Amino acid sequence: MSAVDEDFAGIATVTISASDGEQITETAVTFVINNINDAPRIDSSGIKRIVAKAGSTLTVSVPAHVSDVDHEFSELWIDVDTYDAGSATYDFDTGLITMKWDEAGTELVTITAIDPEGESATHIIEIEVVDSLPLAWESMGTQGDISASFDTMDYSTNPVATVAELTNHGLTNVEIRWQVCNSLTGVCTDMGAAFGFSPFTVQANEGVGLRVGDYIGLTVKAVDSSGFDRKSEMLKTYALEPSDISQEPIGEENPSSESPTSSLFLAAGAAGALALIAATGVIVTNRRREPETPTAMLVDAPLPLPPEGLPEGWTMEQWQYYGLEYLRGER
């Protein structure tokens, strides 16, 4: 069974057959199908949403999208409307809609096709007018348009950066702007530009290298194969503290770097220190050899009391210490 042609008009003959297994009877039935006017049709493929560059001219071919089974295209009336008067015009001779907008934004263009019987079809084209299209940086788990890598981001280094295209936009006129800024001070100290996707060196802090709090900002501008300007947001990559830092012991100097004069001063200082230590040792030794002269002596045996007994106001402890002096008449 063939597919039904919904647009058929004219005479159609249908043959009906009946069989009892032995004989067959056929009857032809003729149908006269009158033409019923159908409205024009608009194929929206490729014109549902269009991205246009601000200031550039965009054209759409109406005959490529509008058709009518009952009429030739030349018999149709085409009407093109837009909110911004004059931004879209239709040429009946060529069948082209020419559009242009100078400012970015969203525009709507309405196409209406009307046949001689008054039947019509309408389609609205959404036009996204842009100054430039974005270039997305590759991020964790997200496929971007471009990527950036550095051979190092350690402190005190001037990294070599490489920017690569990841998609098939066919980017040309590539301009990469870089700058070195400090997140602690908010000051950008260095900036420069590179062209194309070749590696380039970032001279940080006038060649001294990255410092604590520094980051490298990259921005890419290019033109794709469709003629659209493309621009990325700034990608920030922060400086890192080196993982391995070799340090010399504090105070250790290279003996070969000492001059004869400094060696002489060191020797003289050492000799003076030894002399001072020797003199101090003699003084200490002499002091240790001097006999002590105590003002009071503690006798081994208890001192006997005088016949009159313990002096008035004395204690036995005082008597043991100073009793001998009392007996000598010194107290």
pLDDT digits (tens, 9 = 90+) for 106-150: 999 999 999 999 999 999 999 999 988 999 999 867 789 999 999
What range defines the domain where residue 91 resides? 41-131
**What average pLDDT is seen over the chain?**
83
Q: Which residue, 192, 221, 238, sits at the end of a domain? A: 238
Are 151 and 163 members of one domain? yes
Are 110 and 143 members of one domain? no
pLDDT in tens, 247-272: 444 444 444 444 444 444 444 444 55
pLDDT at 80: 96
Q: Which H or E element spans position 78? A: strand 77-82
Higher pLDDT, 75 or 3: 75
Q: Which residue, 131, 159, 179, sits at the end of a domain? A: 131
Three-state SS for 50-105 is: EEEECCCEEEEECCCCEECCCCCHHHCEEEEEECCCCCEEEECCCCEEEEECCCCE
User: What number is the average pLDDT over the span 179-204?
Assistant: 95
Domain contains 314: yes
pLDDT at 140: 67
Q: pLDDT band at 11, cuts 50/70/90? A: confident
Higher pLDDT, 105 or 255: 105
Domain contains 260: no
Domain contains 2: no
Domain contains 147: yes
Domain count, the chain: 3
pLDDT at 298: 42
Residues 6+ apart with CB under 8 A from 185: 213
pLDDT in tens, 35-78: 788 999 999 999 999 999 999 999 999 999 999 999 999 999 99
Q: Which residue, 131, 154, 179, sits at the end of a domain? A: 131
Three-class secondary structure of residue 170 per DSSP: coil
Domain contains 15: no
Half-sphere exposure of 246 (CA within 13 A, CB side): 0
Are 79 and 163 members of one domain? no
User: What number is the average pLDDT over the span 313-322?
Assistant: 79
Q: Which residues pair with 88 in a beta bridge?
A: 99
Domain contains 118: yes
Percentage of the chain modeled with pLDDT above 70: 80
Are 99 and 123 members of one domain? yes
Are 155 and 61 members of one domain? no
Q: Residue 73 sits in a domain of what CATH number? A: 2.60.40.10
Are 102 and 138 members of one domain? no
Asked if pLDDT for residue 21 goes beyond 90, the answer is no
Which of 47-51, 85-89, 296-300 comes out lowest in average pLDDT? 296-300
pTM above 0.95, yes or no: no
